[in-house]
């Protein structure tokens, strides 16, 4: 399964970047999809420096069906059929439920849930043509449990897991598997934003805020992006052919 084409959304930073680098190191040609060209080009440069192959698809908005169609078509033209689709683009703004207005709710669900639906629908025919296809959705432990002050985020990630399970059953008799990876609190720029919010609202220092998040993990630490990437890499491999419809927590035992 070497030199297969992997398409990764949200590939410019954090978990998406770690996944793109891991897939490239494993021999995949990687399409780097996201909104910000500079971030994606930096990831591409890192892949090219290590002898890998990657293409940048910037301006890729997971909420816009026309943009998605163009991006998927360009990726296929550049690197062939998409064998591995990784939906990683996402946002996690926080607000108390009573202050979560319809605009915030719609924004979060459009990116985190509807975005997965739109990208997968656009890419699925190519994934099926590629053979031994993989759809891997980066959800969250928030899709397996609840957290206060992120009701829209939790709802969106629960939706991603439900979508994953439904599509896995539809495709069970094909050679396409569909799974979700559910990281706990992970050391990424997304967490940096959460630390700022916690510090602002509670008066605690960033170090204290970081420690409070780490305590939710029984291992007493934040998850490393590479640990999530390694799980994705396994799901993308031939070794995981019998794994489908699963929501795999990468969270140090937080979810049992």
pTM of the model: 0.95
Say what the pLDDT of residue 213 is: 86
Q: What average pLDDT score do residues 5-34 get?
A: 98
* C-alpha 59: how far from chain center: 17
Q: Percent of the chain beyond pLDDT 70?
A: 98
Kindly give the residue spans of alpha helices, DSSP state H, lying in the chain. 14-25, 37-49, 65-79, 102-109, 115-130, 151-170, 189-202, 206-214, 225-235
According to CATH, the topology of domain 5-250 is: Rossmann fold (3.40.50)
Name the residue with higher pLDDT: 5 or 211. Answer: 5
Average pLDDT, the chain: 95
Q: What average pLDDT score do residues 242-248 get?
A: 98
Q: Among candidates 200, 180, 189, 188, which has minimal Cα distance to 225?
A: 188
Say what the pLDDT of residue 3 is: 84
End-to-end CA distance of the chain: 32
Q: Which residues are catalytic?
A: 153
Confidence of residue 2 (pLDDT cuts 50, 70, 90): low
pLDDT tens-digit series, residues 151-189: 999 999 999 999 999 999 999 999 999 999 999 999 987
| 177-183 and 5-9 beta bridge pairing | unpaired
Q: Structure tokens of 153?
A: 């985020």
> DSSP per residue over 84-110, as a string?
EEEE-------B-GGG--HHHHHHHHI
> What does the domain layout of the chain look like in residue ranges?
5-250
Give dist(CA 44, CA 57) in Å, integer. Answer: 11
Residue 44 reports pLDDT greater than 90: yes
Q: Among candidates 67, 87, 182, which has minimal Cα distance to 127?
A: 87
Say what the pLDDT of residue 1 is: 47
> DSSP per residue over 42-96, as a string?
HHHHHHHHTT-EEEEE-S--TT-HHHHHHHHHHHHHHH-SEEEEEE-------B-
């Amino acid at each position: 399964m070497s030199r297969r084409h992997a398409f990764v959304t949200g590939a410019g930073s954090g978990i998406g970047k770690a996944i793109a680098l891991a897939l490239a190191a494993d021999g995949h040609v990687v399409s780097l999809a996201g909104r910000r060209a500079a971030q994606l080009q930096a990831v591409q440069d890192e892949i090219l420096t290590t002898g890998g192959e990657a293409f940048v698809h910037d301006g890729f908005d997971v909420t816009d069906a026309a943009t998605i169609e163009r991006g998927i078509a360009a990726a296929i033209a550049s690197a062939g059929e998409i064998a591995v689709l990784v939906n990683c683009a996402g946002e996690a703004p926080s607000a108390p439920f009573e202050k979560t207005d319809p605009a915030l709710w719609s924004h979060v669900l459009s990116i985190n849930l509807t975005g997965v639906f739109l990208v997968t629908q656009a890419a699925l025919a190519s994934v099926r043509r590629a053979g031994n296809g993989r759809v891997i959705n980066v959800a969250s432990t928030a899709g397996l449990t609840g957290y206060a002050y992120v009701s829209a985020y939790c709802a969106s990630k629960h939706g991603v897991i439900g979508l994953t399970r439904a599509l896995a059953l539809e495709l069970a008799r094909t050679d396409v598997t569909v799974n979700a990876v559910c990281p706990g609190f992970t050391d990424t720029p997304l967490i940096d934003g959460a630390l700022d919010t916690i510090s602002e609202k509670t008066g605690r220092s960033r170090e204290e805020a970081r420690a409070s998040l780490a305590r939710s993990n029984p291992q007493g630490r934040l998850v490393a992006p590479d640990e999530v990437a390694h799980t994705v890499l396994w799901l993308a491999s031939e070794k995981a052919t019998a794994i489908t419809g699963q929501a795999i927590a990468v969270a140090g035992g937080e979810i049992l």
